[in-house]
Each structure stands twice: as structure tokens, then as C-alpha cells.
A and B are shown apart, each in its own frame.
Chain A
Amino acid sequence: MFEAKIDANILKGCIESITAIVDEGKLRIAEDGLKLRAVDPANVAMVSFELQSDAFDDFRFVPKGAEPEAVPEAEPTTEPQVSEATEIGMDFRKLLDILGIGGREEVELELDEHAQKLFTRMGSLAYTISLLDSSSLRKEPKVPELEFPAQVIIETEEFRRTIRAAEKIGDHIALGIDGELFYMEAEGEMDKLRLGLRKEQLIHLTPGTLHSLYSLDYITAMSKGMAHAENITLNLGKDYPLQMEFEVAEGKGKVTYLLAPRIESE
């Protein structure tokens, strides 16, 4: 059983951060909130999304197994029982469209697991979304084990502005650190763009020397997904994936993007 109420704008911001990478995925509902981890169809980027239950005005979840008759007389476990989760196949693009129509009101969500439907209600507007068959969706990716040698924390607006300018120049962008300087660089056939920020102009910087190239198509989509966050944390390496972390739902949710680099052959 899952029933919840949440500010439509907050939910919209959250869903937008997901649709920057994937249109559909397996959303995990548990007592502590919602979670998703998914890789984009081209296997280039991953999104991890977490929304705590206290981001909701109302959040009630009872796992299937909690119904007494459903609990089998299993061997006794000494471990405290971990709360179970329900997994639903969600068309996020559709949900986003509906939230766009509904406007700024509070949205009520109610899951009917047997009928595989999610009821959404915004004011007097009710919309029933059919869930996707989660067996037809891609398997949830593994949790990446990465070690990033450097970290930069930057104002989102500064980052997004640079990406918007870079888009006009080429199809990829370099992110790097040179000593105590963080830079973003795009070079096209005709034009060149460089943003250089010293340590004191940033919220945080690990000094070093490194540099990686990334697809602008992806970073552009991601920068739209992070529009509501004040700051973003960039974890960087040399010819290494880029990890971008930011908060959603006024700090009660967290989104992490991981983007594979472009690497010069030979």
C-alpha cells in the first residue's frame, strides 16, 4: 500500500532530474522514501535518485509482506527485519506531462499494485497512469565503485551558463583542474570558450592536475535536470567519469549523475 501527498512543483523538479537521463525506470518505494537508479538507453550516463519520505506532506507505505497472513512461517531470523520495498515500472515522461498540466497544486498519489496503476489527483483533476511491466524494463545498474581524485563545488548557475555558451561551439567540453584553478573548455572549428575559476571563486576545490572530455548533449540535459539546485558537487578524474551531485526537494532529496567520458583513441 502506498499513498502520498506532495507539492506538485517539488515533485516536478524531482521528476525532471530523472527525465534528464531516462524516460522510464524502476522506482523503488520503501518506508523511508523513493529511490531509483537507471542507465540511459545508450549506456553513457546513470542517474541515482533518492527522495526521503519527509519531503512529502503525507507518506504512507505498507510493504506487501507486512500483511500478517502473507508472512510465511519462516526460519526465525536474529536480524531485525529490513523494511521491504515495492518496485514499480514508471513512465516518468508521462508523469511529468501530467504534472505540467496540473499546475502548482498539491498532488496526491495512490498506488494500486494489483491493477498496476498509479492514481494521481491534482485538485479536481484525476489521472490514472498505467504502470510499465517492470520485467520489460532494464535491470537496475550496479552501484559504481569509483574513486575521484578531485572535487569541485560550484554555483549551479555559473555551471549552467558555461554549458549554454559551450553548446554554441562544439559537441564536447573539457572539465579539468590545473593547480588551484578549475576550468571548463570547449573548442569548435571556429570558436573557443574557456571558464576559469580560482579556488576562492568556488565553494570548494581539491587542487591537482587532471582533465576529461564529456559529451555536451549529455551535460546539457543534465544541467536542465539540476535547474532547481543552488550548488552542485562535481567529482572529477583524468579520463574518468564525471559525477555530479545536487539536492532536490529543498534538501530532502538527492540526485547523482554519472557520465562516462569521451576518450581520445591511442
Chain B
Amino acid sequence: MGSKIGEILEPKEISLDVLSGKIVAVDASITLYQFLSTIRQPDGTPLKDSSGRTTSHLSGLIYRTATLMEKGIKFVFVFDGKPTELKAKELKNRSERRAQAMRKWEEARVLFPEEAFKYAQASSKVDKPIVEGAKTLLAYLGIPCLQAPSEGEAQAAYMAQKGDVEFVSSQDYDSLLFGAPAMIRNLTAPRKKTKLEVIELKRLEEKHEITREQLVDIAILVGSDFNPGIKGIGVKTALKLIKKHHDIEKLMAQSDIGKKKGIEDYALVRDIFLHPDVNRSYELKWANPDEGKVKEFLCEEHDFSEERVSKALEKLSRSKHDVPQQKIGQWL
């Protein structure tokens, strides 16, 4: 998922403390997917309530986000809107892969239990009930949710460019292509297994002496959510080609690359990244968690342990008592 440009990025490992007091826009789809695929029982079965509804994502939201909010991080969750036409094809492929994984999981659960978890993960799907459940819980937690007109990452990147949020949290790198000045990876992943890292667009541009426009062209060559890319061209080759020829037009004029398949729609894809459809008039409002509603929703409706939910809510109320640091600018 996302563009395959990871290898040339310059991630910097950071500690969670750096994010204290910062506003982070979270790519909701990918985060919920992460919760769904990793919060599972050993045989791959997701967490479920007594009526069989999946609750892995709710568990991730309440326990992991509470821990992060206790550190003083303020969240905004940004949800995907309508996918662009170009993405529809990729989504169709994904759904096929998911169906295949689901079949394999069913087989593996009986025959090769050690393989089962992997297939189960790949069968995760962020569907409508998952999104609705997440939105309900976030509202009760007082965390603002924003519906993007199209790509959630584009919306988050726009907010970061405007300075309304300081970081975009995602797993793939498209936020950078959409222009986010800084993105964080692995924020909502289990801390023991993964390192928290930040990637800054400016550092990346300086390191490779390329512009964001050129980075987008590189992503198009290797393949993105919106085009398959050219077979056999990896990100390092793409970087070299774009640095040498400056952009895809000149590259096509000076080589036979245009005859190959995979970048026919490059102009459209470029437009999606550079001029995405975003909501420019949004309002972000944080509220205190409604503890009663959170407990009712999680414990009564979805059979969560009351004790654990209470503990998580305690963490949230601790972060609430933090006294916000003012900026000196208002006195200068």
C-alpha cells in the first residue's frame, strides 16, 4: 500500500517525549487497519464481543491512544472519503488479495496453525461497521474526527502544511507526496517491536537535492496507489533517472520509457498528489472524554473489561490536567 519509495527516505528515530504537547493528524484508515491486523488472538481470530462483532480496532483505540494521550499528544483522526477512479483498481486488487487470504486462513487454521496468523492479518478489512464504531468511540473520547473529501492522507498533509497540526501519522509515505512537512511512522504500532520514526520532507529534499514534484515523479515510476509503475524500476533507479532528466516528460522524451506500461496516467496521478481534493474549512475541537458514554459503549455494548477501560480513562484524565504551555510570540 502507498508508494514504494521507502528506501530513499531518511527516517530519524525519535522518542515519544518529543511529541508531548503536539497535535498529530492520524490517517484513520491505516491506523484502524493496523489495529485490526495486529490485535488478534494467536490463531488469528480478531477480538470479538459476545454477539460476534469485531472489536480489535476499539481495543486499539482505547488502550493505545490512551497511552499516547497520557504523554500529552493531541489527536485528530482523518478518515478517507470517496476513492479516486485511479485508486479503484488498486482497491479491487486488494479486495481480491483479502479474499484469497481469508480462504488460506480458513485452511491454515486447521492444517498449519503457525501460518494462520499471517493470513488472518492479510484478511483484515476496514469496512463500514468498523469505521462507524471507531467514530462513535472517538466522539465519546472527545477526539475530533474529520472526513476527507477523498484521500485522508491528503487532508492530513494539508492541515500540516497550514500548521494546524504538527505531524501526520501514517504507515505509508504518501503523506510526504501530498506535501506534509513531517510524518511519523509506527506511532500506534506496538512499541516493543517497532521504532518510532519521523521523516521530514525538507530533509529528504535536501539530502537528494530533489523537489517534492520530483519525489512524486519518482513514486509514479516505481508505482503508487494510483498507478502500477514500471516493472523493474526500483526507487533508487527512479531517483537517478529523475535527477538526471528532471521530470517524467523529459525522461520520456530522452528514453523509450514511455513505451513501457505502468505510467500512462502519470499526469493525472501527479495532479492527485500535488493538487488533491481537500476540505479547507474544517474546525478542530477537543473535548473531555465522556466517561459514562465510553463505558456504556465499550463495556455494556461490546463486553470490554470495566476495570481495564476505567484504567485507560484514568490515563486520559491525567493528560487533561496538564496545563498547556503558551507560546512566547503573543507577548512579543
Taking beta carbons and an 8 Å cutoff, which residues of A are in contact with B?
39, 43-46, 141-144, 146, 172, 213, 215, 241, 258-265
Contact assessment for B332 and A141 in the assembled complex, using a CB-CB cutoff below 8 Å: yes
Contact assessment for A43 and B324 in the assembled complex, using a CB-CB cutoff below 8 Å: no
CB neighbours (8 Å) of B282 from chain A are none
In angstroms, how far is the closest chain A Cβ from the Cβ of B35? 30
Which residues of B (124-181) have their CB < 8 Å from a CB of A? none
CB neighbours (8 Å) of A144 from chain B are 328, 331-332
- Pick the residue among B325, B328, B330 that contacts A46 (CB under 8 A): B328
Closest to A142 in B: B332
Contact assessment for A44 and B325 in the assembled complex, using a CB-CB cutoff below 8 Å: yes
Contact assessment for A263 and B331 in the assembled complex, using a CB-CB cutoff below 8 Å: no
Contact assessment for A259 and B323 in the assembled complex, using a CB-CB cutoff below 8 Å: no
In angstroms, how far is the closest chain A Cβ from the Cβ of B322? 8
Cβ-based interface call for B329 (8 A): yes
Q: Mark B174-209, 1 if CB is under 8 A from A, else 0.
A: 000000000000000000000000000000000000
- Given A39-B332, A262-B323, 5 new contacts (CB under 8 A): A43-B327, A43-B328, A44-B328, A144-B332, A259-B328
Which residues of B (215-252) have their CB < 8 Å from a CB of A? none
Contact assessment for B323 and A146 in the assembled complex, using a CB-CB cutoff below 8 Å: no
Contact assessment for B331 and A241 in the assembled complex, using a CB-CB cutoff below 8 Å: yes
User: CA of A45 to CA of B324 in the docked complex: distance in angstroms?
Assistant: 15
Q: Interface on chain A toward B: helix, strand, loop, or mixed SS?
A: loop
User: CA of A146 to CA of B324 in the docked complex: distance in angstroms?
Assistant: 21
Contact assessment for B323 and A260 in the assembled complex, using a CB-CB cutoff below 8 Å: no
CB neighbours (8 Å) of A213 from chain B are 323
10 contacts between A and B (CB under 8 A): A39-B328, A39-B332, A45-B328, A46-B332, A144-B332, A213-B323, A215-B325, A259-B328, A260-B326, A261-B326
Which residues of B (273-332) have their CB < 8 Å from a CB of A? 323-332
Contact assessment for A241 and B323 in the assembled complex, using a CB-CB cutoff below 8 Å: no
Contact assessment for B331 and A260 in the assembled complex, using a CB-CB cutoff below 8 Å: yes
Taking beta carbons and an 8 Å cutoff, which residues of B are in contact with A?
323-332
Closest to B330 in A: A260
In angstroms, how far is the closest chain B Cβ from the Cβ of A186? 12
Contact assessment for A260 and B324 in the assembled complex, using a CB-CB cutoff below 8 Å: no
By Cβ-Cβ distance, the 4 closest A-B pairs, closest first, are A262-B323, A260-B326, A260-B328, A43-B327
CB neighbours (8 Å) of A45 from chain B are 328
Contact assessment for A44 and B323 in the assembled complex, using a CB-CB cutoff below 8 Å: no
Closest to B325 in A: A262
- Pick the residue among B323, B328, B332 that contacts A263 (CB under 8 A): B323
CB neighbours (8 Å) of B329 from chain A are 39, 43
Scoring B323, B329, B330 by chain A CB atoms within 10 A of each residue's CB, the highest score goes to: B323
User: CA of A263 to CA of B325 in the docked complex: distance in angstroms?
Assistant: 7
- Pick the residue among A172, A241, A264 that contacts B328 (CB under 8 A): A241
CB neighbours (8 Å) of B327 from chain A are 43-44, 260
In angstroms, how far is the closest chain B Cβ from the Cβ of A240? 8
User: CA of A165 to CA of B297 in the docked complex: distance in angstroms?
Assistant: 44
User: CA of A5 to CA of B187 in the docked complex: distance in angstroms?
Assistant: 50
User: CA of A258 to CA of B325 in the docked complex: distance in angstroms?
Assistant: 14
In angstroms, how far is the closest chain B Cβ from the Cβ of A177? 19
Contact assessment for B331 and A146 in the assembled complex, using a CB-CB cutoff below 8 Å: yes
User: CA of A144 to CA of B328 in the docked complex: distance in angstroms?
Assistant: 9
User: CA of A43 to CA of B332 in the docked complex: distance in angstroms?
Assistant: 11
In angstroms, how far is the closest chain B Cβ from the Cβ of A239? 9
Contact assessment for A172 and B331 in the assembled complex, using a CB-CB cutoff below 8 Å: no
Contact assessment for B324 and A262 in the assembled complex, using a CB-CB cutoff below 8 Å: yes
Scoring B326, B327, B330, B331 by chain A CB atoms within 10 A of each residue's CB, the highest score goes to: B326
CB neighbours (8 Å) of B328 from chain A are 39, 43-46, 141, 144, 241, 258-260
Contact assessment for B323 and A264 in the assembled complex, using a CB-CB cutoff below 8 Å: yes
CB neighbours (8 Å) of A261 from chain B are 326
- Pick the residue among A39, A142, A146, A260 that contacts B325 (CB under 8 A): A260
In angstroms, how far is the closest chain B Cβ from the Cβ of A143? 8
In angstroms, how far is the closest chain A Cβ from the Cβ of B286? 10
In angstroms, how far is the closest chain A Cβ from the Cβ of B98? 43
Contact assessment for A258 and B324 in the assembled complex, using a CB-CB cutoff below 8 Å: no
Closest to A143 in B: B332
CB neighbours (8 Å) of A241 from chain B are 328, 331
Closest to B323 in A: A262
In angstroms, how far is the closest chain A Cβ from the Cβ of B300? 31
Closest to A43 in B: B327
User: CA of A243 to CA of B324 in the docked complex: distance in angstroms?
Assistant: 19
CB neighbours (8 Å) of A143 from chain B are 332
CB neighbours (8 Å) of A43 from chain B are 327-329
CB neighbours (8 Å) of A258 from chain B are 328, 331
User: CA of A144 to CA of B324 in the docked complex: distance in angstroms?
Assistant: 21
In angstroms, how far is the closest chain A Cβ from the Cβ of B250? 30
User: CA of A262 to CA of B321 in the docked complex: distance in angstroms?
Assistant: 12
User: CA of A112 to CA of B329 in the docked complex: distance in angstroms?
Assistant: 34
CB neighbours (8 Å) of A264 from chain B are 323-324
